[in-house]
Amino acid sequence: LHEAVVPSFARSPAALRRLLSALAVLEQRDGKLNTGSLSAVTAAQKLGGSIHAFVAGSSIKGVAEEAAKVEGIEKVIAVDNGAYDKGLPENYAPLLVENIKKGGYTHVIAGHTAFGKNLMPRVAALLDSQQISDVTNIENDKTFVRPIYAGNAIATVESSDPIKIITIRGTAFPAAPVAGGSAAVEDGVDPKAESPTEWVSEDLAKSDRPDLATAGRVVSGGRGLKSKEDFDKVMLPLADALGAAVGASRAAVDSGYADNSLQVGQTGKVVAPQLYMAVGISGAIQHLAGMKDSKVIVAINKDADAPIFQVADVGLVGDLFDKVPELTEKLSKA
C-alpha cells in the first residue's frame, strides 16, 4: 500500500491488513471455471487482506457460483457478456480497469498464463502502474519474488505503486480448493468497450491425456527422438504407462515432432510435476527454466555429459530407442 495514502493511525499490521483488498482475476472457458486460475486466490491469501474474485463472459452465473464456493473469497464480481468469453485484452482490459476503480483494490492478481500475460500489461498501462510479472513468492504487500534471466537469478522487487498489478506463476501457488466458501455474487460494471479485434476461430489441440500444465507426471521428448513417427511411437506408450502428460523441448516442437502447445521451457509452459522424465533432451537453460522445479527429475540420454544430468535425480545413460520401450514394458506390467 502506498505509504502516502495510509493515515498514521492505520500503520499497525492489523490495520494495514484491513486496508488491503485484492482482486483475483479468474479464467473461464465455455462456461466452466478454470480451477487452475484459483492459484491467484492462494496468492491473494498471502497478503492477508480481503479478497474478491472477478469473472466475465456469457452465462457467467454458473462460473460465479462455483467461484463463490472457494473459501476466503468474500465477494465474486461477475459480468455477464459474451464479448468477454475469449478474454480478448482489447475489451477485457478496460472492463477490468473499471471494476478495479469501482472496488478500490490495492492488488490485482491473475495467473501468468496466456490470458494473464495478454491482459495484465494493458491493465497496468491503463492504471499507470508497473506490472509485476511471474511472481513466485509474496513477502509482504509490496515485496515480491520473481525469477529473471530464464530462472537463473531470483529478483526480490518492491513496488510503491498504489495499485499493484501482478501475475503469478501457477506452479508456485497451489490452486485454492472449490470448497468451504459462500461468497456473495455481485454484478460488476460493464463499460461495453468496443474492441478493434474480433475473435475469428481457434484450433485447439485435443488430448485425453492429463493437462500438461497441471499434471502430476510429465514425460517430455527432445530432438533425440529423430522424427514425429518415433516421437509418437516411443513417448505416447510411455505416457500412457505412467498416466502422464506429454511435453517436448523446443527443438522437438520446431522439428515438427510435437505440437507447439506441448513445449516446456522459457518460451513454453512452466511445469513442476511430481515426476518429470526428459527423454533425448540435452538440458539447455531455456528448457530447464520450464521444469527444474519438478520434484523428481529423470533423464534418459545417450550422452553422459549432457547438462540435463546436472539437474536429474535419476539418470540413465543409453539409447532411448532401447531403454524407453523396455521401461514402458516393465511399467505396463507393474
Long-range Cβ pairs for the range 126-132 (8 Å, 24+): 126/93, 126/94, 126/97, 127/97, 127/100, 127/163, 127/165, 129/161, 129/162, 129/163, 129/164, 129/165, 130/159, 130/161, 130/165, 131/165, 131/166, 131/167, 132/157, 132/159, 132/164, 132/165, 132/166, 132/167
Shortest reach from residue 113's CB to ligand FAD, in Å: 15
- Looking at the Cβ atoms of 70 and 264, the one nearer to ligand FAD is 264
Please tell me the distance from the alpha carbon of residue 227 to that of residue 241, in angstroms, as a whole number: 21
> Binding ligand FAD by CB under 6 A: which of 85, 112, 287, 315?
287
> Binding ligand FAD by CB under 6 A: which of 252, 262, 270, 312?
252
Please tell me the distance from the alpha carbon of residue 264 to that of residue 217, in angstroms, as a whole number: 13
- 17 vs 10, 11, 20, 83, 164, CA distance in Å? 9, 9, 5, 35, 15
79 is in an annotated binding site: no
Contact 292, 284 (CB under 8 A): no
Listed ranges 60-68, 95-103, 111-119, 259-267: which one lies at the site for ligand FAD (CB under 6 A): 259-267
The grid coordinates listed for 137 are: 513468492
> Binding ligand FAD by CB under 6 A: which of 265, 272, 312, 328?
265
Select the residue whose beta carbon is closest to ligand FAD and give its number: 265
Question: Binding marks (x or -) toward ligand FAD, 182..221, rule CB under 6 A?
Answer: ----------------------------------------
- Looking at the Cβ atoms of 158 and 329, the one nearer to ligand FAD is 329
List, in order, residues 6 or more apart from 40 with CB less than 8 Å away.
Answer: 24, 25, 26, 109, 110, 111, 168, 173
306 binds ligand FAD (CB under 6 A): yes
280 binds ligand FAD (CB under 6 A): yes
- Looking at the Cβ atoms of 113 and 282, the one nearer to ligand FAD is 282
> Binding ligand FAD by CB under 6 A: which of 267, 274, 310, 332?
267
169 binds ligand FAD (CB under 6 A): no
- Looking at the Cβ atoms of 16 and 321, the one nearer to ligand FAD is 321
Q: Which residues pair with 279 in a beta bridge?
A: 221, 300
107 is in an annotated binding site: no
Which residues make up each annotated binding site? Answer: 223, 249-250, 263-267, 280-287, 301
| Site for ligand FAD, rule CB under 6 A | 222-224, 249-252, 263-268, 280-282, 284, 286-287, 290, 301-303, 306, 319-321
